[in-house]
A and B are shown apart, each in its own frame.
Chain A
């Protein structure tokens, strides 16, 4: 269906500070077509994004792309509370899609709206007072902090309270231990539900690993796992921790000890059938997981990604002999795709919570 849509970006000429009424009126004007007809507004959610000046251009592009696929009212908040002077600048834009097959296009324009709020100084410390009145009623509110950012302590109450779901991104954080603990604390609170783009990015990997053990004759091997090796990018440790946390929580492994060395980190678990070691190595030069290898006495299970392509290979070996193998597509990990994945997910993600909890326990060792 996406192919049947063409889009048009429209921006309001005015900017600067505006009242709530001016914002609503300006957005309605943007939905108006040249012939005077009003484009319909199909909206499935509210999306608030909090970011800084530096990241704003790239994040704005992601939000614009997203609104083509998830019609929403997006509120992009560029926040700089450290400035001394108060400043508030609001600009409006809309992305209007025209569906093919309707002569003239009248009544076929679907518009998603974007409000960009640039707040500096004291107003940036009270973002909830700006975002709250602009939310569309009766629709879920997603609050996204991109690029490893977390809600500032001052935002934790106001902004987070507006959201039904908080989306974070543990990719590329400097201190993965602190970030994971922070997310675990937020998640334990329960409201709003927390999601992590790095967890969304793990779905295909987890599915491929589950496939390796799908035949009944290999399912028993889950209890024979002795070692797990994860190659990841240097700044992608959180994703690797979540992966191991997931395996451990699903298979009942209890974290016992941890060693940090030059080559990476090793965690030891006590499982129902004995000891299991998980080794995490920041060995991959690119921005993703590179390889997951799961070893038992006899078998070696591996999912590995091609360095350049998005194809991924899965193999099952027994004593050096290839038993099964295939190549599939891993899918896209662009931020827009991952955020889109999170926007589809509305419920409580118990599997993620368990993986996160276990990962936090591993870090506490």
Chain B
């Protein structure tokens, strides 16, 4: 190593950090959060940044600037954030570490539709570059209402903040929803790309930050035993379930506009579908992974608009019983129209028209007020071509279940001989539960994604063509449902409407009970 030290100008801190035991720490920089007085900032972003700072994952030269219309001083903003953190952690926050962290947290009150707010912000960030060494690097996090996204992006661009100062970088983070349909998504992407390059844009779906979701790729691409079976040669069909046990609660107004299709299927469920069906990427990097995901989305057969009912079910929960408690139906929830047709449940039958998956149905469903919270992928294999055992003709198929939450693991249903004379076969669930092998603290999804953002690694963020392709798949359904009043009802606490069962029953299949 000594040989590499020739002149001082060549010295780099990498000499001390070139070590797999030491974590990667981002370059100095500032994170600007628009919509800073909102829930997301206090409940998710600041706790994640505080944890990263406390765990020595952020550089010393780091600052957070919150921007919002609410009038607040820096100190008032900091106190508000501290209170939320204390409420979350019941006093487990270190005063000394918080005091140090919050010294780099600032607040700027301003109307994000007005140009002067951006000039003020630009001046403030320049000041931070001088005082706190943030070196002209900026990440702009849009945590405000999605309706403000286009205006914020335009004003940032017009103020020249779409480029970092003095050779630094500028990155833009957008929270879902990425539009309401294909047209609005394209419009949003076009608007953003007038000012920011695609490489500067980080579309965040916190699902991808979850260790358990990333583990789908680990399972598939680090185990040669599964991959040869992972195709139409051996797979009968795939079921993907994203179930929530809660109702809409206080989010009725939001949900009336969104529905399960936009809120869950377009992003979380499509991402899980991609990770399940994609080809092995050449490398686990941004382009390698995202390119393969887009190929899957492009291969999903578009549902003809005149056959929506054959492939899609819109459901809505009615009054029912959940975990021993009677709960209201969707139309009885606050801020929900009494005749609402909003989907709280969606089931789709999709086909991926490529070499690997030709003819294999992917049944996907997502819903609220289902019996339990669970996300899982179930791969049902084809039956054996011939059962040589007398009296064992009705052998059950093998099912490989990849559970993403709440209990991460893999379960394989296999046939085994019942002890005794004769040859009776019974199915046994073999739980691999690989998640239990590593009982370490799992970082919060936002922690992982914010760190990747600061490090400039977009692998776990969504590219424009991913989001547009996902909308393109769902657009016929969205259009058809917009023109129809038909909703299939299901009682809260059940696994969805009967129409959803029919969707599979027509092919002689049935939903599994997760």
Is A309 interfacial (CB 8 A cutoff)?
yes
- Please give the distance in Å from B366's CB to the nearest CB on chain A: 19
- Please give the distance in Å from A46's CB to the nearest CB on chain B: 14
Is A272 interfacial (CB 8 A cutoff)?
yes
Q: Determine whether the beta carbon of A68 is less than 8 Å from that of B99.
A: no
Is B355 interfacial (CB 8 A cutoff)?
no
- Please give the distance in Å from B12's CB to the nearest CB on chain A: 5
B97 contact from A1, A207, A211, A328, Cβ within 8 A = A328
Is B406 interfacial (CB 8 A cutoff)?
yes
Give complex CA distance A291, B279 in Å: 51
Q: Determine whether the beta carbon of A309 is less than 8 Å from that of B436.
A: no
Q: Determine whether the beta carbon of A44 is less than 8 Å from that of B437.
A: yes
Query: Given the interface contacts A251-B5, A324-B61, does A1 sit within 8 Å of B55 by beta carbon?
Result: no
Q: Determine whether the beta carbon of B435 is less than 8 Å from that of A1.
A: yes
- B1 contact set on A, CB distance < 8 A: 249-250, 252, 354
Is B325 interfacial (CB 8 A cutoff)?
no
Q: Determine whether the beta carbon of B6 is less than 8 Å from that of A272.
A: yes
- B2 contact set on A, CB distance < 8 A: 252-254, 272
Is B282 interfacial (CB 8 A cutoff)?
no
Chain A residues numbered 292-328 whose CB sits less than 8 Å from any CB in chain B: 306, 309, 311, 313-314, 316, 324-328
- B94 contact set on A, CB distance < 8 A: 309, 311, 327, 329
Query: Given the interface contacts A71-B436, A215-B28, A314-B60, does A345 sit within 8 Å of B21 by beta carbon?
Result: yes
Chain A residues numbered 162-203 whose CB sits less than 8 Å from any CB in chain B: 200, 203
Give complex CA distance A211, B27 in Å: 10
Which of A96-104, A126-134, A257-265 lies on the face that meets chain B? A96-104
- A226 contact set on B, CB distance < 8 A: none
Q: Determine whether the beta carbon of B442 is less than 8 Å from that of A329.
A: no
A2 contact from B4, B7, B441, Cβ within 8 A = B441
Is A161 interfacial (CB 8 A cutoff)?
no
- A272 contact set on B, CB distance < 8 A: 2, 5-6
Q: Determine whether the beta carbon of B96 is less than 8 Å from that of A309.
A: yes
A250 contact from B8, B15, B56, B133, Cβ within 8 A = B15
- B96 contact set on A, CB distance < 8 A: 306, 309, 311, 327
- A213 contact set on B, CB distance < 8 A: 13, 16
Interface size on B, residues (CB 8 A): 55
Give complex CA distance A345, B440 in Å: 14
- A216 contact set on B, CB distance < 8 A: 12
Is B158 interfacial (CB 8 A cutoff)?
no
Query: Given the interface contacts A99-B407, A252-B2, A272-B6, does A210 sit within 8 Å of B17 by beta carbon?
Result: yes
Among B3, B11, B15, which residue has the most Cβ atoms of chain A within 10 A? B11
- Please give the distance in Å from B447's CB to the nearest CB on chain A: 14
| Chain A, Cβ-Cβ closest to B374 | A101
| Chain A, Cβ-Cβ closest to B442 | A1
Query: Given the interface contacts A215-B28, A329-B94, A354-B1, does A107 sit within 8 Å of B431 by beta carbon?
Result: yes
Is B283 interfacial (CB 8 A cutoff)?
no
Give complex CA distance A213, B133 in Å: 13
Q: Determine whether the beta carbon of B16 is less than 8 Å from that of A223.
A: no
- B308 contact set on A, CB distance < 8 A: none
Query: Given the interface contacts A97-B436, A222-B11, does A209 sit within 8 Å of B441 by beta carbon?
Result: no
| Chain A, Cβ-Cβ closest to B59 | A214
| Chain B, Cβ-Cβ closest to A324 | B60
Is A287 interfacial (CB 8 A cutoff)?
no
Is B439 interfacial (CB 8 A cutoff)?
yes
- A44 contact set on B, CB distance < 8 A: 437-438
Q: Determine whether the beta carbon of A210 is less than 8 Å from that of B5.
A: no
Per DSSP, are chain B's interface residues mostly helix, strand or loop, or mixed?
A: loop
Is A273 interfacial (CB 8 A cutoff)?
yes
Give complex CA distance A224, B17 in Å: 18
Among B55, B97, B408, B441, which residue has the most Cβ atoms of chain A within 10 A? B97
Is B504 interfacial (CB 8 A cutoff)?
no
Q: Determine whether the beta carbon of B439 is less than 8 Å from that of A327.
A: no
Is B25 interfacial (CB 8 A cutoff)?
yes
Chain A residues numbered 41-96 whose CB sits less than 8 Å from any CB in chain B: 42-44, 68-71
- Please give the distance in Å from A298's CB to the nearest CB on chain B: 13
- Please give the distance in Å from A61's CB to the nearest CB on chain B: 18
- Please give the distance in Å from A227's CB to the nearest CB on chain B: 17
- Please give the distance in Å from B108's CB to the nearest CB on chain A: 22
- B53 contact set on A, CB distance < 8 A: 326, 328
Is A135 interfacial (CB 8 A cutoff)?
no
Q: Determine whether the beta carbon of A42 is less than 8 Å from that of B434.
A: yes
B23 contact from A99, A100, A207, A218, Cβ within 8 A = A207
Q: Determine whether the beta carbon of B407 is less than 8 Å from that of A101.
A: yes
Is B119 interfacial (CB 8 A cutoff)?
no
Give complex CA distance A316, B13 in Å: 15
- B59 contact set on A, CB distance < 8 A: 211, 214-215
| Chain B, Cβ-Cβ closest to A306 | B96
- B16 contact set on A, CB distance < 8 A: 206, 209-210, 213, 222, 247, 250-251
Is A157 interfacial (CB 8 A cutoff)?
no
- B223 contact set on A, CB distance < 8 A: none
Give complex CA distance A58, B337 in Å: 64
Query: Given the interface contacts A1-B435, A327-B96, A327-B100, does A101 sit within 8 Å of B5 by beta carbon?
Result: no
Q: Determine whether the beta carbon of B21 is less than 8 Å from that of A203.
A: yes
Is A351 interfacial (CB 8 A cutoff)?
yes
- B5 contact set on A, CB distance < 8 A: 223, 251-252, 272
Chain A residues numbered 306-363 whose CB sits less than 8 Å from any CB in chain B: 306, 309, 311, 313-314, 316, 324-329, 331, 345, 347, 349, 351, 354
Is A110 interfacial (CB 8 A cutoff)?
yes
* A206-249 vs B, Cβ < 8 Å mask (1 yes, 0 no): 11111111111011111110000000000000000000000101
- Please give the distance in Å from A331's CB to the nearest CB on chain B: 8
Q: Determine whether the beta carbon of A68 is less than 8 Å from that of B439.
A: yes
B440 contact from A1, A200, A215, A326, Cβ within 8 A = A1
Q: Determine whether the beta carbon of B440 is less than 8 Å from that of A220.
A: no
- A97 contact set on B, CB distance < 8 A: 436, 439
Is A108 interfacial (CB 8 A cutoff)?
yes
- B17 contact set on A, CB distance < 8 A: 207, 210, 214
Is A40 interfacial (CB 8 A cutoff)?
yes
| Chain B, Cβ-Cβ closest to A251 | B15
- Please give the distance in Å from A113's CB to the nearest CB on chain B: 14
Is B9 interfacial (CB 8 A cutoff)?
yes
Q: Determine whether the beta carbon of A108 is less than 8 Å from that of B407.
A: yes
Give complex CA distance A37, B442 in Å: 29
- A110 contact set on B, CB distance < 8 A: 433, 436
Would you list the 3 A-B pairs with minimal beta carbon distance, nearest first?
A252-B2, A327-B100, A210-B16
Q: A210-B22, A211-B13, A219-B11 are in contact. List 11 more A-B contacts (CB 8 A).
A: A1-B441, A71-B436, A108-B431, A207-B25, A214-B13, A214-B60, A216-B12, A220-B8, A222-B15, A252-B1, A309-B96
* 10 CB-based A-B contacts, threshold 8 Å: A42-B436, A100-B406, A213-B13, A214-B25, A214-B59, A220-B11, A250-B15, A327-B94, A329-B56, A347-B20
Q: Which residues of A line the B interface, CB within 8 A?
A: 1-2, 4-5, 40, 42-44, 68-71, 97, 99-102, 107-108, 110, 200, 203-204, 206-216, 218-224, 247, 249-254, 272-273, 306, 309, 311, 313-314, 316, 324-329, 331, 345, 347, 349, 351, 354
Q: Which residues of B line the A interface, CB within 8 A?
A: 1-9, 11-13, 15-23, 25, 27-28, 53-56, 59-61, 94, 96-97, 99-101, 132-133, 135, 406-408, 429, 431, 433-442
